[in-house]
């Protein structure tokens, strides 16, 4: 079978999957409906301060698995819903930043610098249109790069990297993620070490459980969903509740802004914004392809580069960056949106998650089965069908459908979500806590899972209090078992050579890079914001 055959089968798997209902005799697959539903929910979640796409993905995943089960037919509907949430939340995050000067995520802070001043000048709808156009453009560019680069990179890895090299690559990835995320490299390494420690409890190929302290409960290890949801979601909720406890209650009324002047986005505006969108899209795509860096750095760099360029081309009557320049919104939104597609490049080609959204895509694939992200996905076989490759092209099709929804109805729905920011956090956060614990129990159906989740939630709360990023913990927890399996296989394949990481040139280069990036990051001074 050729490449075009696999692409066509991937498209058909989305459009001709299990039928949910029909319109005028035309069947509508459940995957299409799930992509659409996930996209709308993602926009609503992204428009709500305190929530984000990963929170909605975390709550929805156990419920979706309980509904669709663990059959191969469940893969694309579940993954399609998660992709829809990821895409919708990406553009929805600009709503509170522009309308109410309330960034829902750290990268949305840069959007407030020019978005809210435009709202104060009566240009709220135009600011939202600029954000939507820039976000959709950056996201589409990033997806195209993903479709081209992920199979190519996977084939290179499969052709040139053997077991020792793959083991060293996993170590390099963990070192890179640990040092670039968090308050300092030391804190990132602590977070990574805790993740590896947690995943090794009660697991492995030994005849007795490890690190279980003779506890029957710990001997089976921690379910992956309890660790991820506990640290990422429960920890965030506890920290937010603490912040609400210490904050003085302020007035919840939001001053209404009047729309003044022309609110439409004209072709002259688009031509003026395109250079800023293009530069930021390239910046966000490059950063997104590196696991663990994330959209916050992309938004900051995109905004900084755009500001320096804008200062040279600025008209005398135009506002400065930070004073309501539409170019500032375009530079920020294109940068942070182009990260989402590129973040899946290391996921699909290497099996390494780069951000929280990618974590839940891998978690869904591992929970359902039948799809193992990594180099083996893009193995083109002529004599028999590779089902994982069909699923990969099905995912690409789902992303293009979500992009089409983004361009068509995304802007209209995004502008209608301003009401979401008025939900009080003291009502919203307990609801998220209850939904998360319910979703955990639905998937695990035992009380130990609830206690594990709460325990990891306390750990996530302490990590946030100490300014330690929980993302290295989560990624280390996911990659820990892969690292051990790869190291065991490499050790056996090299005849029990304990120095297999240093006797192979590529593996030795990866190990040297791991040490080098830790030393470089430790010597570098942390910038003051």
151-203 pLDDT, tens digit per residue, is 777 667 666 777 888 788 888 878 877 886 655 788 888 988 999 998 888 76
- Identify the band that residue 34 occupies on the pLDDT scale cut at 50, 70 and 90: very high
Lowest model confidence (mean pLDDT) among 268-277, 293-302, 449-458: 293-302
Rg of the Cα trace of the chain?
Answer: 23
Cross-strand pairs, 27: 22
Please check the confidence at residue 50 and state whether its pLDDT lies above 60. no
CA geometry: angle 87, 281, 415, nearest 5 deg: 45
Confidence at residue 35, expressed as pLDDT on a 0 to 100 scale: 92
Three-class DSSP category at 29: strand
At residue 291, the pLDDT reads 60
What are the sequence ranges of the domains in the chain? 3-247+269-417+425-523
Three-class secondary structure of residue 19 per DSSP: strand
pLDDT score recorded for residue 149:
80
H or E element in which residue 109 lies: helix 109-120
Nearest to 141 by CA among 411, 356, 303, 340: 340
Question: Is pLDDT of 299 > 80?
Answer: no
CA–CA dist 160, 401 (Å, integer)? 34
Could you give the 3-state DSSP secondary structure of residue 397?
helix
pLDDT in tens, 373-423: 777 777 777 677 778 888 888 888 988 998 899 888 887 877 676 555 556
Structure confidence by residue, pLDDT tens digits, 133-148: 888 888 888 888 888 8
Whether the per-residue pLDDT at 314 is higher than 90: the answer is: no
State pLDDT tens for residues 4-33: 888 888 888 888 877 777 777 788 888 899
Alpha helix (H) residue ranges in 121-266: 124-160, 163-180, 185-199, 224-229, 235-246
CA angle, 57 then 360 then 157, to 5°:
150
**How confident is the model at residue 527, as a pLDDT?**
43
Query: What does the pLDDT read at residue 529?
Result: 36
Which of 358, 363, 365, 392 is closest to 377 using CA atoms? 392
The residues near 271 (Cβ < 8 Å, ≥ 6 apart) are none
Average pLDDT over residues 82-94: 84
Q: Say which residue, 118 or 104, is predicted with more confidence.
A: 118
Instruction: State the burial class of residue 213 (Cβ atoms within 10 Å of its Cβ: 0-12, 13-18, 19+).
Output: exposed
pTM above 0.75, yes or no: no
505 has a pLDDT exceeding 80:
yes
Spatial neighbors of 462 by CB under 8 A, at least 6 apart, are none
Query: How much is the pLDDT for 249?
Result: 55
- Percent pLDDT > 70 in the chain is 84
Beta-carbon neighbour count of residue 19 at 10 Å? 11
pLDDT category, 271, cuts 50, 70, 90? confident
CB atoms within 10 A of CB 292: 24
Does the pLDDT value for residue 459 go beyond 90?
A: yes
The strand pair at 26-29 and 19-23 is best described as: antiparallel
Q: Which of 327-341, 357-371, 398-412 has the lowest mean pLDDT?
A: 357-371
How confident is the model over 207-255, as pLDDT tens digits?
667 777 777 777 778 887 788 878 877 887 888 788 777 765 555 544 4
What are 173's strand-pairing partners?
none
**What is the number of other CB atoms lying within 10 angstroms of the CB of residue 296?**
19
Q: Please list the residues that pair with 28 across neighbouring strands.
A: 21
Which of residues 270 and 50 earns the better pLDDT score?
270
Average pLDDT over residues 448-468: 89
pLDDT one-digit tens code per residue, 318-329:
777 777 788 888
With bands split at pLDDT 50, 70 and 90, how would you rate the model's confidence at 456? very high
Q: Is the pLDDT score of 118 beyond 50?
A: yes
């Amino acid at each position: 079978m050729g490449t075009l055959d696999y692409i066509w089968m991937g498209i058909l798997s989305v459009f001709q999957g299990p039928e949910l209902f029909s319109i005028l005799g035309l069947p509508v697959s459940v995957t299409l409906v799930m992509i659409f539903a996930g996209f709308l929910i993602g926009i609503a979640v992204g428009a709500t301060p305190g929530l984000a796409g990963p929170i909605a993905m975390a709550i929805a995943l156990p419920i979706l698995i309980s509904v669709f089960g663990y059959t191969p037919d469940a893969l694309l509907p579940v993954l399609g819903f998660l992709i829809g949430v990821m895409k919708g939340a990406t553009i929805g995050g600009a709503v509170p930043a522009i309308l109410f000067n309330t960034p829902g995520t750290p990268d949305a802070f840069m959007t407030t610098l020019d978005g809210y001043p435009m709202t104060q000048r009566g240009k709220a709808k135009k600011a939202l249109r600029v954000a939507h156009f820039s976000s959709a453009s950056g996201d589409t560019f990033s997806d195209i790069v993903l479709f081209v680069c992920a199979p190519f990179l996977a084939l290179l890895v499969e052709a040139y990297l053997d077991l020792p090299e793959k083991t060293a690559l996993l170590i390099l990835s963990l070192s890179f993620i640990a040092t670039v995320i968090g308050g300092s490299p030391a804190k990132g390494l602590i977070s990574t070490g805790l993740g590896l420690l947690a995943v090794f409890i009660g697991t492995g190929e030994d005849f007795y459980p490890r690190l279980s302290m003779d506890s029957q409960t710990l001997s089976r290890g921690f379910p992956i969903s309890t660790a991820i949801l506990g640290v990422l979601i429960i920890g965030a909720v506890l920290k937010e509740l603490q912040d609400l406890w210490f904050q003085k209650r302020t007035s919840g009324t939001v001053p209404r802004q009047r729309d003044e002047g022309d609110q439409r986005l004209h072709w002259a505006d688009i031509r003026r914004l395109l250079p800023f969108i293009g530069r930021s899209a390239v910046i966000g795509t490059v950063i997104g392809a590196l696991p663990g860096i994330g959209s916050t750095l992309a938004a900051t760099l995109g905004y900084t580069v755009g500001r320096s360029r804008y200062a040279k081309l600025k008209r005398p009557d135009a506002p400065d960056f930070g004073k309501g320049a539409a170019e500032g919104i375009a530079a920020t939104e294109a940068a942070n949106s182009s990260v989402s597609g590129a973040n899946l490049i290391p996921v699909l080609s290497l099996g390494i998650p780069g951000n929280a959204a990618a974590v839940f895509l891998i978690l869904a694939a591992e929970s359902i089965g039948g799809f193992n992200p990594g180099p083996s996905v893009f193995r083109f076989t002529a004599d028999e069908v590779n089902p994982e490759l069909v699923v990969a092209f099905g995912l690409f099709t789902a992303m293009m459908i979500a992009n089409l929804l983004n361009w068509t109805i995304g802007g209209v729905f995004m502008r209608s979500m301003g009401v979401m920011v008025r939900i009080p956090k003291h009502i919203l956060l307990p609801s998220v806590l209850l939904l998360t614990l319910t979703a955990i129990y639905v998937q695990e159906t035992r009380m130990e899972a609830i206690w594990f989740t709460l325990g990891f939630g306390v750990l996530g709360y302490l990590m946030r209090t100490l300014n330690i990023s929980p993302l290295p913990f989560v990624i280390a927890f996911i990659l820990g078992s892969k690292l051990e399996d790869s190291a065991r296989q490499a050790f056996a394949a090299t005849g029990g050579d304990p120095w297999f990481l240093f006797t192979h040139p590529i593996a030795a280069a990866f190990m040297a890079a791991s040490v080098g990036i830790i030393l470089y990051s430790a010597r570098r001074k942390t910038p003051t914001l």
